[in-house]
Amino acid sequence: MLTPEHLHALRNLPLAARQAAEGLLHGAHASRRKGAGMEFSQYRPYQPGDDLRRLDWRLAARSDRYYLRESEIDTSLTVHLVLDATASMNHQDDNGLSKLDYARLLCAALAYVATQQGDAVALTVLHPAGLQHLPPRADPRQLPRLYHMLETLRAEGTFPDRSTLAPLTARRQPGLIICLSDLYEEQDEIMRLLTRLRAASGDVLLLHLLARNELEFSFRGAVTFQDLETGRTLQLDADQQRSAWQTHLHEWLRSTATATRRQGFDYYQLSTAEPLDRALREFLRQRTTRMA
Amino acid sequence: MPAFFLQHATAGVLALLGLAVPVAIYLWNRRPGRVVQVGSLRWLETGANRRLRSLKPEGLLLLLVRAAIVGLLALALAYPSWQAAAPAPRGQVLLSPDASAEALSSLQPTIDSLRRRGYELRELRPRLPLLSAEAWTARLRATAPDSVLATDDGVPNVWAQVRQAADSFPNRPLVVVAPLLMRNFRGTRPALPANVTWHPVPPSTDSATWLLAAYQPHPDSIVLVLAHGSETAVRVRPLRLRRPLAETILPILPAPTQVTYQPKAGQPRIRVTTGSTTYIVPVQATTPRWWVSYDAAHAPDARVLGAALQAAGSVAPIRPRLTVSTQLPPLTDSLTWLFWLRDAPVPVAWRQRVQQGMRLWQDAPASGASVSTTLPFSSIQPPVRLLRHDTLPLHTSAWALWTDAHGSPALSVQAVGRGLLYHLHTRLAPTWSELADSPELPSQLLPLVLAPPATSTNSLDPRQLDPTQLIGNQLTPSSVVAVSSAQSGPVHDSTPWVVLAAGLLFAVERWLATRRLAQSSASSVPAA
């Protein structure tokens, strides 16, 4: 499995997405629901109440027994990627990878996996200038469009206001919503959005991106910290700040995890130094449980 | 006044460059640091404000302490020293043994006040012995000092002694208490520093009569030369007597002085006793021998000198036998005077005779400088013009007898052994001077040629020095200053104290730094 920085170094989002997903998909099979469909799956003895249209009359004529012909049903799962592209996503880890870079790779890999699984993938970028929305489609050209949109993405500004977000929650489109964000919000605008999305669409998988230097506070000596969203700076001795920072951070992570789970989201913390497979596995697991 | 100075100022200035180190550390600590962009500052702010507020003054204090340490070390490298004030010089009061008790009593308040101010009392004698308080009171109670008749060598020369004292006690005030007896001030006045103060005291006696010399021109008569001295002059009168019998007391001097004719071993002599002191005056019976030896160049001089000596000798109690010749005198001749009018140097044999009491007269060598000055012999006669003058410097032990109008000596005398060496700094020839035409010349020569050999009776001379003579040429202030700066106090090196101060400051710096660390770590712990 390639590390995120190696994938980023490829400078080729389609290739990176495939590389990240291939190893994961190898040998893995999507569980499929049995039912009415084009592709034959198995025979099942008739039970009263079954739809007579699905009775295999030819078999009944030959063997005088009633069997139902079962085939795979067509899935119509829509995977809706929601990417937070506010300025705070520009936070850069020690490996030179910003949260946005990581999120970009992750979105591409998820989209690839989803496409491979036959799902329709949609992408919404939360940007202060407005929502960039790619509607869900299952056609083969959806991936290149999505890749292009990810590649041209820039993180800037603060979280969009409610009116900008309104179209996102207006349409009811069932599916799996995967939200990638650092959850740095001024009040609780992200959580409110996710709550409404859950109400509108269904499951929400919240991937919380955290840089490793953020988690461990690995800064040393005198450092000028600059807030990416407000631009405010603070000159500090990092060594003296470390313990306080970590205490606050872990408290926040704990409370965030509690809050999101109370809302019914699936919440995962991802370090931008970790490989992508953990997030991808989680996605597949989610998908499987949703399909089951 | 103590003076602070640096022995190696350059090293100190170079070491001051070390001040850049603490300043650099301070600026390094205060540098903005690299900029890290983070998503949120929310967990930094609470501690940060407090931190930034406390960082500035403490850092500045540390900077100042560190700069002070470096500055002190730089100062230590420059070897700071201070020069202590020289101990206040103790003045010296020099008491002449000739000063009488009465005279000292009148000066007692002054001298006692000087002693209370730390002055030391010393006797004006060779080696300047210290006078204790007991000796001082004894001096005050003592009656008139005995008229000590020391030999000529023993008679102190105040000039030389004060000069010696000024050299022995540089930069100290000297107060000289001495009677201004002319006999004690011999030679030229030396250059004395300005801190010599004179307190002239009246001599014990203001007049005296003494027997100066005795002659026996004929076997049946003697001539006694009596001198009567006052403060200003000595009058000499001859007294012709029949030759007395041995041990006859001659009533020529007032009581209690006793004059006795006392021949001894065929040599007639006269014994003079005053109280406990006695002096002997030999009676000269032999004819004095004078010899003028000249060469061709000195022929005019020899003629003049011969005539002048002839005239002077004619009034002598015993008429001298004068020889004026181009020949050298025979070494066997017992000459009293040798007038050497030759360009050639005086032979060694005759020089040695000077040591034994002979008097030698020399004039200027052939090379001389043209001058235009006069020699004032007396106020009656017009002064004698001098045309040429030799360029020889005056011998250090010589003193001038005749001084021209420019102040340079025309005739000087120098004591050599028991004899005297006279030096005429011009010549008697008309091309050199108009001395030959002066009617004063024989009378001026008379006291020289008739002066009896130095005897102890010189110590009875009561003539006094003009007090204005005491203020002579003094040492210039610059030379005094040069001496005083060399005599400044000891130099103390303050380097150890500066290093100690730097060490203390270092301890303070360590304490400040640790306190700062402790404070910052305490502040970084959340209040929770």
Asked if residue B437 and residue B305 are part of one domain, the reply reads: yes
Contact B47 A225 (CB under 8 A): no
Mean pLDDT to the nearest integer, B477-504: 70
* Region B383-401 average pLDDT: 84
Nearest to A227 among B31, B34, B41 (CB): B41
CA of A209 vs chain B CAs: smallest distance (Å): 11
ipTM metric: 0.72
Q: Are A186 and A277 members of one domain?
A: yes
Helices (H), B117-168: 133-141, 158-168
- Same domain for B78 and B188: no
Closest listed residue to residue A176, CA positions, set A36, A51, A68, A288: A288
Query: Mind telling me how many Å the CA of B28 is from chain A's nearest CA?
Result: 9
Residue A214: list chain B partners with CB under 8 A: 38-39
Chain A residues close to B37, C-beta within 8 Å: 90-92, 225-228
Chain B interface test: which of A185, A214, A240 (most B C-beta within 10 Å): A240
- A99, A104, A105, A109: CA torsion to nearest 10: 130
- Which domain does A87 fall in, by range? 4-29+75-291
Assess if residue B458 is contained within a domain.
no
Q: In this predicted model, what pLDDT tens digit does every residue of B141-176 receive, in sequence order?
A: 875 444 444 444 456 688 888 888 888 888 888 888
Pick the last residue of a domain from B284, B302, B328.
B284
B234 φ/ψ angles, rounded to the nearest 5 degrees: -120, 125
Give chain A's largest Cα–Cα span.
86
pLDDT (tens digit, 9 = 90+) per residue, A274-286? 888 888 888 888 7
pLDDT, average across residues B495-508: 93
Query: Which tokens sit at A84?
Result: 């937070």
- Asked which of A21, A50, A72 is the last residue of a domain, the reply is A72
pLDDT tens string B304-356: 999 999 998 888 888 889 999 998 888 888 888 999 999 888 999 888 888 88
Query: pLDDT of A8-51, one tens digit each?
Result: 888 888 888 888 887 776 655 444 455 555 667 788 889 888 88
Mean pLDDT score across all residues of chain B? 81
User: What pLDDT does residue B153 have?
Assistant: 47
Residue B516 confidence (pLDDT) above 80: no
The pLDDT of residue B33 is 67
**Based on the domain organization, do A68 and A85 belong to the same domain?**
no
Distance CA B366, CA A172 (A): 147
Check: CB of residue B410 under 8 Å from CB of residue B375: yes
The confidence band for B406, taking pLDDT boundaries of 50, 70 and 90, is confident
Contact between A225 and B45 (Cβ < 8 Å): no
- Sign for the CA dihedral angle at B352, B357, B363, B364 comes to positive
What pLDDT score was predicted for residue B139?
83
The winner for highest mean pLDDT among A206-210, B39-43, B55-59, B251-255 is A206-210
Query: What is the predicted pLDDT for the residue at B47?
Result: 54
Q: Is residue B8 part of a domain?
A: yes
pLDDT tens-digit series, residues A149-172? 999 988 888 888 888 888 887 776
The answer to whether A176 touches A290, Cβ cutoff 8 Å, is yes
Residue A211 CB burial class (10 angstroms; 0-12, 13-18, ≥19):
buried
Q: Which amino acid is at A48?
A: P
- Same domain membership, residue A150 and residue A126: yes
Q: Which residues on A lie below 8 Å from B33 (Cβ)?
A: 221-224, 235
For A36-49, letters b (16+ CB in 10 Å) and e give eeeeeeeeeebeee
Whether residues A248 and A275 fall in one domain? yes
At B349, list the tokens: 């044999």
Rounded-to-integer distance, Cα B516 and Cα B509, Å: 10
Same domain, B254 and B342: no
Query: A100 Cβ partners below 8 Å, 6+ apart?
Result: A85, A89, A90, A153, A155
One-letter amino acid identity for B344? A
User: Coil, strand, or helix at residue B419?
Assistant: strand
- Give buried/exposed letters for A247-270 (b at 16+ CB in 10 A, else e): ebbeeebeebbeebeeeebbbbbb
* Residue where the block lists tokens 């829509």: A78
Chain A's closest residue to B51, CA to CA, is A236
Amino acid at A287: R
Contact status, residue A226 vs residue B35, Cβ threshold 8 Å: yes
CATH number at A213 reads 3.40.50.410
Residue A104 pLDDT grade (very low, low, confident, very high; cuts 50, 70, 90): very high
Show residues of chain B in contact with A252, CB under 8 Å: 43
Taking the mean position of all CA atoms in its chain, how far away is CA A253?
19
Closest by Cβ to A241, choosing from B42, B44, B528: B44
* C-alpha span between B159 and B192 (Å, rounded): 9
Verify that B303 and B420 share a domain, yes or no.
yes
> Tell me: the pLDDT tens digits for B36-45?
888 888 777 6
Residue B148 pLDDT: 45
Say if residue B96 is in the same domain as residue B186: yes
> Which chain B residue has its CA at the smallest distance from A156's CA?
B39
| Cα–Cα distance, A84 to B39 (Å, whole number) | 13
DSSP character at residue B157 = -
Give the number of other CB atoms < 10 A from CB of residue B169: 20
Examine residue B376 and state whether it is found in any structural domain, yes or no.
yes
Question: Count of domains in chain A?
Answer: 2
Helix H or strand E segment including B387: strand B384-389
Amino acid residing at A75: T
**R_g over Cα of chain A:** 23
Chain A residues whose C-beta is within 8 A of a chain B C-beta are 88-92, 99, 182, 184, 214, 219, 221-230, 232-237, 240-245, 247-249, 252
Q: How many domains does chain B have?
A: 4
List alpha helices for chain A, DSSP H.
Answer: 4-9, 13-25, 57-63, 99-116, 142-151, 162-170, 189-201, 212-216, 238-263, 277-291
Q: Which two tokens stand for residue B437?
A: 């035409």
Phi first, then psi, for residue B491 (nearest 5°) are -95, 125
User: Using the 8-state DSSP alphabet, how is residue B121 labeled?
Assistant: E
Measured distance CA(B407)–CA(B373) in Å, rounded:
10
Task: Find the radius of gyration of the CA atoms of chain B.
Answer: 41
Same domain as A111, residue A54: no
* Per-position DSSP letters for B276-300, written without gaps between them: TEEEEEEEE-SPPEEEEEE-GGGHH
Question: Of the candidates B524, B10, B447, which has an alpha carbon nearest to the alpha carbon of residue B236?
Answer: B447
> Phi and psi at residue A160, in whole multiples of 5°?
-65, 155
Do B340 and B393 lie in a common domain?
yes
Residues in a beta bridge with B228: B209, B235
In chain B, which residues have their Cβ closer than 8 Å to the Cβ of A226? 35-38
Residues 6+ apart with CB under 8 A from B267: B282, B283
Q: Is residue B459 part of a domain?
A: no
The pLDDT value recorded for residue A251 is 92
Q: Is residue B355 part of a domain?
A: yes
Pairwise CA distance, residues B332 & A186, whole Å = 140
Q: Of A122-126, B15-19, B81-85, which gets the smallest average pLDDT?
A: B81-85
- Inside any domain, residue B428: yes
Q: Which among B129, B131, B181, B121 is positioned nearest to B157, based on CA atoms?
A: B181
Are B292 and B309 in contact by the 8 Å Cβ rule? The answer is: yes
Contacts of A241 in chain B (CB under 8 A): 44, 47-48, 524
Cis previous bond, B256, omega within 30: yes
pLDDT confidence of B422, banded at 50, 70, 90?
A: very high
Q: Which of B38, B58, B517, B520 has the most A C-beta neighbours within 10 Å, making it the best mutation to test the interface with A? A: B38
Contact across the interface for B520 and A244, Cβ inside 8 Å: no
Same domain? B357 vs B413: yes
Contact A228/B39, CB-based, under 8 Å? yes
- Residue A219 has what pLDDT? 85
Tell me the chain B residues in contact with residue A85 when contact means C-beta distances shorter than 8 Å. Answer: none
A278 class by beta-carbon count within 10 Å (0-12 exposed, 13-18 middle, 19+ buried): middle
In this model, does residue B53 exceed pLDDT 70?
no
pLDDT tens digit string along B440-484?
A: 888 888 888 877 665 556 667 788 888 888 876 555 444 444 444
Residues near A203 by Cβ (< 8 Å), separated by ≥ 6?
A176, A177, A266, A286, A290
Encoded tokens for B31: 């540098």
Amino acid identity at B354: V
Distances in Å between the Cα of B424 and the Cα atoms of B364, B379, B385, B409, B434 are: 6, 22, 14, 9, 14
pLDDT, position B527: 38
Residue A98 shares a structural domain with residue A166 = yes
pLDDT band of residue A145 (cuts 50, 70, 90) is very high
Please give the share of chain B, as a percent, with pLDDT higher than 70. 86
Nearest-angstrom CA–CA distance, B486 and B479: 11
For residue B178, pLDDT over 70 is answered with yes
Same domain, A175 and A235: yes
Do B96 and B196 belong together in one domain?
yes
- Interface-testing mutation among B28, B31, B36, with chain A (most A C-beta atoms within 10 A): B36
Across chain A, mean pLDDT equals 83
Spatial distance between the Cα atoms of A186 and A127, rounded to a whole number of angstroms:
15
Q: Which residue has the tokens 């002077």?
A: B312
Which of A21, A49, A72 marks a domain boundary?
Answer: A72
Give the Cα separation of A2 and B121 in Å (integer): 110
Q: Which residue has the higher pLDDT, B453 or B52?
A: B453
**From chain B, which residues contact A within 8 Å (Cβ)?**
29, 31-48, 51-52, 520-521, 523-526, 528
A98 and A222 inside one domain: yes
Q: Which residues of B touch A92 (CB under 8 A)?
A: 37
For position A197, what pLDDT does the model report? 86
Residues A9 and A94 in one domain: yes
Length of chain B: 528
CB contact under 8 A, A244 and B51: no
B526, pLDDT greater than 80: no
Residue of B451, B408, B495, B412 lying closest to B81 (CA atoms): B495
Q: Which domain covers residue B175, as residue numbers?
A: 92-205+465-486
- Within 10 angstroms of residue A32's Cβ, the number of other Cβ atoms is 14
Q: Which of B282, B305, B275, B308 is closest to B293 using CA atoms? A: B305
Q: Are residues B366 and B426 in the same domain?
A: yes
Beta strands across the sheet bearing B491-493: B3-6, B80-83, B491-493
d(CA A225, CA B40): 9
Contact B526 A244 (CB under 8 A): yes
What gap in Å lies between CA B62 and CA B27, rounded to an integer? 12
Q: What does the pLDDT look like over B124-140, one tens digit per residue? A: 888 888 888 888 888 88
Same-domain pairing of A20 and A85: yes
Q: Do A223 and B521 touch (CB under 8 A)?
A: no
Q: Which tokens hold the place of A111?
A: 């989209």
Alpha carbons within 13 angstroms on the beta-carbon side of residue B82 total 10
Q: What is the pLDDT of residue A107?
A: 92
Is B457 inside a domain boundary? no
